[in-house]
Amino acid sequence: MMKYRYAFVLVLGLAACTNPAKEAPVGTYYDLKSYIEQQISQLQKQQPTVEKQAGFGKEKDQQTTKEIDWSRELDLFLQADINKQAYQTSYQKNRPDSLTYEYTLKTTEKLPVQFLRIELDSATHQLRRVKATLRTKNSLYESERNVWLEAEKGNLKRYHIDGFQQLAWLDPKQFLIEGKIQ
């Protein structure tokens, strides 16, 4: 009896660890999430020097640092991932060439990622550039975030985030984050 109870608990435990409804089937969209998570892990281990510029409104700050929380720094790139089961039919797919993936939100859909473009390197076929536009709008709040990154040999070298945030009763506030990895 104890043997069967152990097997039952094991089966329940394994079932709880999988969530088949969360990710889209392989090949639906480019797997940006895996790439960004791999870069976050690698950058946290390496702690490279970064020339960083950040601004909110008219204030801007520039610094050179190794102290970056990469999970937080690259979070908008994770948010730009559209490889979710619920999004499977929400985007028009376009392949301008064999190295470029473009996804544009269908006009009938209301999702934050409006556009995503992935470019691969012609020699290595590794990710070379990502560009995305994310928008959020409701009766109290509106924001737009434009993000792009560039990689060399698959490794992140530059990233850029700009856009605005606006509460319904206030003027929009512009923001900017740029980083160049040494």
Report pLDDT digits (tens) over 10-20: 333 333 333 33
Between 18 and 76, where is the model more confident? 76
pLDDT at 172 over 80: yes
pLDDT band, very low/low/confident/very high, at 151 (cuts 50, 70, 90):
very high
Mean pLDDT over 43-56 rounds to: 96
Quote the pTM value: 0.82
**Pairing assessment for the beta strands 91-94 and 141-152 based on DSSP bridges:** unpaired
pLDDT number for residue 84: 87
DSSP E strand stretches across the chain: 50-56, 59-65, 91-94, 100-105, 113-120, 127-137, 141-152, 155-167, 173-181
d(CA 182, CA 28): 34
The tokens for 178 are 């740029």
pLDDT number for residue 1: 47
Surface-to-core class of residue 153, CB atoms within 10 Å of its CB (0-12 exposed, 13-18 middle, 19+ buried):
exposed
